[in-house]
Amino acid sequence: MWLGLVIIGQFIAALVCAFVINMIWVLTNPGQGLFGKANK
């Protein structure tokens, strides 16, 4: 139980942090995609 929580907790925390920083990038670079697909 605790082992699963550690693994999932770390995974979700990493995704959330990366998403937040990526959102800051997207907001400061308008018109460009969140996943880098539309980036030129």
Partner 1 sequence: MILAVALIYFLVLIVGAGLVTMRRVKTTGDFTSAQSTGGMSWIFVTCTFVLIPLGSGHSMSLWEQSLGPLGGGALLWALAVGAIFIPIMMLFMGPLARSTGYKTFPEITKAMYGRGFGWFHAAISASSQSGIIAAELIGTGVAIFTLSGGAVPLKPWAVLIAFVFALLYIFFGGFLQMAWINIVNSIMLIVGSFAAVIGVVVWLGKNFIFNGAGGLDGIAAYYASEELSGKLSQFSNVGIVNTWIDIIIPVALLHLTALTVSQGHNLPFFAAKSTKDVRKGVYLASVTNAMAAVPWVLIGLIAFAVPAVVNSVAPDELGKLIVPAAALAMLPKPLTGLLMISLLSATLSTAGAITLGSAQQMTHNIIKDALIPNMSDKAELICTRVCVIVYGCICLGMALTLPVIMPVFFWCFMLNIPIFFCYMTGMFFAINKTWCYISLAIGYVVAFGWTFLAPQWAPYPFNDTTWAVLLVSFVFGMLVPALIGSAGEKKPFRQRIRESRAGQAEIRLPDAK
CB atoms within 10 A of CB 3: 7
Q: Which CB atom, from 30 or from 35, has the smaller least distance to partner 1?
A: 35
Q: Contact at 8 Å (CB) between 24 and 17?
A: no
d(CA 37, CA 14): 21
Which of residues 1 and 30 has its CB atom nearest to partner 1 in the complex?
1
Residues near partner 1, by CB under 8 A: 1-3, 5-7, 9-11, 13-19, 21-22, 25, 35-36, 39-40
Please, what is the minimum distance in Å from the beta carbon of residue 31 to partner 1?
14
